Structure 1
Amino acid sequence: MNDDKIMNLWLAIALGGASGAMSRYWLMSYTISVLGKTFPYATLFVNVSGSFVLGFLSVVLWSKWSLPEELKLAIIVGFLGSFTTFSTFSLDVLNSFLAGHYVRLFIYIIASVSLSIVAVGLGYLAAKVVV
């Protein structure tokens, strides 16, 4: 791969990443304004919705649509990589543990993992049906 191709890939991923991070910030802020902070709904919502989109686009981008590699990576690695957030999930878990909210901690871990796996599967199946 030549230097120009590598630079184009990096730029595409960076632009996708910036867009994903801004979208996550907006959606998390909105979710908190509606549902509050009594439970980490905002992180759960972005991770589950991002998983659905990833499942859907894994079918569409690689099997159905002929798009440049830069665009595929901008969307999957850049946008969705920065939109979803395992590190924030991990911090939410730690904070719940330190605060002694063990039931909430357990529910959050189970809900995050289960719903994200179901969402990626549903996204995949939706793409198979729709596209």
Structure 2
Amino acid sequence: LKTVIVELTQYLRGWQHYFKLAIRKSAMQRLDEWIRRRLRCYRLKQRKRRHSIASWLRQEGVSERNAWKLAMSEKGWWHLALSPQLNQAMPTKRFKEMGMYSLRDGYESLKIYSEPPYATHACTVV
């Protein structure tokens, strides 16, 4: 997972530099949420089997009942990636600790102008 995050961080930085004037902060936040959900799904898929999923969730601090509740679920990986148990096991803070680049946080640091440069020197045409 750490190597995926390192590669993803490089890609996200470049992507954000390219689209920094075209995309709003709210869109960056939605993309951040989607990426974290996708990484949770990826991690869950790595565990594969029910016993492995439950034991991993227990190691991450989820109660035994909730860990088995998620592990025994028949729902798909993508649906389970949004569950409270997985959010408890892999919170946003943990992704930051692993070095994942946040598009929302990077948006503020990259914002050079308060408005797009093409709108600063408008003149009326007669």
**TM-score (structure 2 length as normaliser):** 0.33
Rg comparison, structure with higher value:
2
Tell me which protein shows more helix as a share of its residues: 1
